[in-house]
Amino acid sequence: MHNIIVRPIITEKSMLDANKSKFTFIVNKNASKKEIKSAVEKLFDVTVVTVSTSMVKGKTRKFGPRRVEQVLSAEKKAMVQLKSGQKIDAFEIGA
């Protein structure tokens, strides 16, 4: 279960969506929507309404003194809509 959700995505856009009970995570490439839903519900003790997924293409970077070009691996992103009024503490900003 812990290997399904890799990490949360903390950006300006994801923080704005968090106010609407939408939370974004990087997940395992082979994880299905049902697996993602059950993992989020068990880890954070919330009720998931919908799950949307998308594959994010790997970016090209140049490394080293010879500027060798390498492609970073692709990732799967999941956007989870929770029942209204529910929050996930990982997305809360301390004042």
Q: Is residue 25 part of a domain?
A: yes
**pLDDT at 1 (0 to 100):** 61
Residue carrying structure tokens 């998931």: 48
Which residue range(s) make up the domain with 81? 5-85
Residue carrying structure tokens 């992103």: 77
What distance in Å separates the CA atoms of residue 5 and residue 41, rounded to the nearest whole number?
12
Q: What is the pLDDT along the chain (95 residues), one digit of tens a residue?
A: 669 999 999 999 999 999 899 999 999 999 999 999 999 999 999 999 999 999 999 999 999 999 999 999 999 999 999 998 888 887 776 54
Q: Contact, 53 vs 95, CB < 8 A?
A: no
Instruction: Work out whether the CA dihedral 60, 6, 76, 78 comes out positive or negative.
Output: negative
List residues bridging with 69 in a β-sheet: 62
Q: Is residue 64 part of a domain?
A: yes
Q: Is residue 24 part of a domain?
A: yes
Q: Is residue 93 part of a domain?
A: no
Report the SS3 class of residue 80.
strand
The number of domains in the chain is 1
Q: Is residue 90 part of a domain?
A: no
Q: Is residue 28 part of a domain?
A: yes
**pLDDT at 2 (0 to 100):** 66
**pLDDT at 95 (0 to 100):** 45
CATH number at residue 61: 3.30.70.330
The amino acid that residue 36 corresponds to is I
**pLDDT at 89 (0 to 100):** 83
